[in-house]
Amino acid sequence: MKRLAVVVFNLGGPDGLDAIEPFLFNLFSDPAIINLPLIIRKPLAWYIARKRAPIAREIYSKIGGRSPLVDQTQAQAEALEESLADLADEVRVFVAMRYWHPLVPEAVRAVQAFDPDHVVLLPLYPQYSTSTTESSFAAWHKYARRAGLAPPTQEICCYPINDGWLEAQASLITTTIEDMRRRDGTDKPFRVLFSAHGLPKKVIERGDPYQWQVEETARAVVGALDIPDLDWTVCYQSRVGPLEWIGPSTEEEIARAGVDKVALIVVPIAFVSEHSETLVELDIEYGELAEASGVPAYYRVPAVGIDQRFIDGLGRLVRRIVRRAGHTCRTRGPRNCPIENKRCPNTPPGRSAPTRAAS
């Protein structure tokens, strides 16, 4: 193979305070987020963006007025490119953000200029969801088709229990526990909270596999930690709006830890990079809530970032799919997700395939 292009996807984030409102508009105008007809969705997206922009500006002002997500994703792309250098004569890893620059159409143009023989699409969302991975892939195929970009293209749909992802998580958690014990003593009882971004319950009820995959990740990380009688739970953060969301919420679990008088080790189990939901929501807002709730100590495990174990795990996924050695997400049988998760992209025969949202 002469030229291999790998495209890594993430949601993106505003690169300045002036970008917050258009970023939010792009987010809420995605039919994967608000599933309404275009004529209703666009005006509603502008209304929500304008209403939420002041709150978001306050959030981003606490972390320098911009999201660090793009810079961190670019660093991950560069590390992955180095890891894959021997897989083709020339390997390039491109960044595609769903809601702010570099947007998917920009990434399509960059890949087209590279003129690859083969393309691999790699989401930086370890757990598959219609609201993230499916939306990103749909946008890629839409703009690639418009541009006439048509080399052989493969998708890595998810990797909730990828070995490198699990090893990086377990190592970072172990380091944080050791740090807590050095500071607070070895006998302090603690609980590990695996906190993931939440989703409305109706999304999961329609067959989205995200919650099941998040909880599979947590179980696998606990197994890798191999700590006898570890106290742990999965919870969900970032609830917005009036809909019922999956739970328990991270706020509820923090309050429970205060009642139980146990220290907290909080793990961002669905995020691979630092951004507003880790640096503000987890570190600042939930840290303050923990103190107010009487939690004896509150520690937050960093996102995996460019941890070499994580990068190498991604590299093995790419190598495996390029060499066609089975499907990257399968861990048992013909599919990974339970049959009720019918929005899993590996739907077996006789089931409806997931509907790709059109932008």
- pLDDT at site 180: 95
Q: What is the mean pLDDT of residues 102-127?
A: 98
Range with the poorest average pLDDT among 89-98, 217-226, 236-245:
236-245
Is 277 annotated for ligand binding? yes
Is 134 annotated for ligand binding? no
CA atoms of 46 and 29, how far apart (whole Å): 8
Q: What is the mean pLDDT of residues 242-250?
A: 92
Percent above pLDDT 70 for the chain: 93
Q: What is the mean pLDDT of residues 155-168?
A: 96
Say yes or no to pLDDT of 111 above 60: yes
- pLDDT at site 328: 54
Task: Give yes or no on whether 3-160+309-322 and 163-300 have one common fold.
Answer: yes
Q: What is the mean pLDDT of residues 314-340?
A: 73
Q: What is the mean pLDDT of residues 266-288?
A: 97
Mean pLDDT for all residues in the chain: 92
Per DSSP, the residues of 269-309 read: TT-SS--HIIIIIIIIIHHHHHHHTT-S-EEEPPP-TT-HH
What pTM, to 2 d.p., does this model score?
A: 0.92
Say yes or no to pLDDT of 349 above 80: no
From the number of C-beta atoms within 10 Å of its C-beta (0-12, 13-18, 19+), residue 109 rates as middle
Of the candidates 318, 302, 329, 336, the one whose C-alpha atom is nearest the C-alpha of residue 169 is 302
Asked if 15 and 98 count as a contact pair (C-beta separation under 8 A), the reply is no
Instruction: Find all residues with CB under 8 Å of 299, minimum gap 6, and list them.
Output: 176, 179, 180, 263, 264, 265, 266
| Helix (H) / strand (E) containing 192 | strand 190-197
Dihedrals phi, psi of 235, to nearest 5 degrees: -145, 170
Distance from the Cα of residue 225 to its chain's centroid: 22
Percent above pLDDT 90 for the chain: 86
- pLDDT at site 75: 98
CA atoms of 10 and 3, how far apart (whole Å): 23
The CATH T-level fold of domain 163-300 is Rossmann fold (3.40.50)
Domain map (residue ranges) of the chain: 3-160+309-322, 163-300
The CATH classification number of 3-160+309-322 equals 3.40.50.1400
pLDDT per residue over 250-262, tens digit each?
999 999 999 999 9
